[in-house]
Amino acid sequence: MCDTSFLFHVASARIKNAGSLDAEIGSISFLVPGAVMRELEGLARDPRKAAAAEAAARYAGRLGRIGLPQGGDADDSIVRHVAGSGGAPLVATMDAALKRRVKEAGGSVVSVAGDRIVLEEGGGASPRGPRRGARAWAGPGRGPRRR
């Protein structure tokens, strides 16, 4: 599930491993919540952000959609969905605050580091406390590395 910050980034950056994500991370289908599309529409009305928002909306137009319950902003909807689904969906974001909230809800995060899409595993709260030693994907042939 993509948030606005991730769409802004991937729409404007060249991602080297976009074609090999299945081998590196596993099968991923990027979906865009309706709340994120509404955020992009609002940002497109801001002259300073219009070009980037329109590029992100064009990119998002090629992706699938996911309906989330209404109420609050897009980040709140995403976090509620992750918490309600046992942390199952990966959330694609560049937003540090959203990353923290998703991990606290038990979810995992996909983001961009340099020119690669990377998996930032869980680290969310559990009944026994936060996970330690979360692993991040270091790239093909390098395996996961400890944080």
Nearest to 143 by CA among 17, 24, 11: 24
DSSP string across 49-112: THHHHHHHHHHHTTSEEE----SS-HHHHHHHHHHHTTT-SEEE---HHHHHHHHHTT-EEEEE
Residue range 105-130: average pLDDT?
72
pLDDT of residue 139: 41
**Domain total for the chain?**
1
Q: Which domain holds residue 101?
A: 4-146
pLDDT of residue 63: 92
CA of 69: how far to CAs of 61, 73, 147, in Å?
20, 11, 34
pLDDT at 6 over 90: yes
Tokens of 76: 């709140």
Q: Which residue has the tokens 């030693």?
A: 133
Q: Dihedral angle at the C-alpha atoms of 123, 127, 129, 131, nearest 10 degrees?
A: -30
pLDDT at 140 over 50: no
- The model's pLDDT over 75-100, given as tens digits with 9 standing for 90+, comes to 999 999 999 887 778 899 999 999 99
Quick check: pTM over 0.95? no
pLDDT at 18 over 60: yes
pLDDT at 102 over 90: yes
Alpha-carbon torsion (40, 44, 46, 48), positive or negative: positive
pLDDT of residue 121: 63
pLDDT of residue 89: 80
pLDDT of residue 123: 56
CATH number of the domain where residue 69 is located: 3.40.50.1010
- Listed as own residue / partner, the contacts of 68-75 with beta carbons closer than 8 Å and 24 or more positions apart are 68/33, 68/34, 68/35, 70/35, 73/35, 73/39, 74/3, 74/4, 74/33, 74/35, 74/36, 74/38, 74/39, 75/3, 75/101
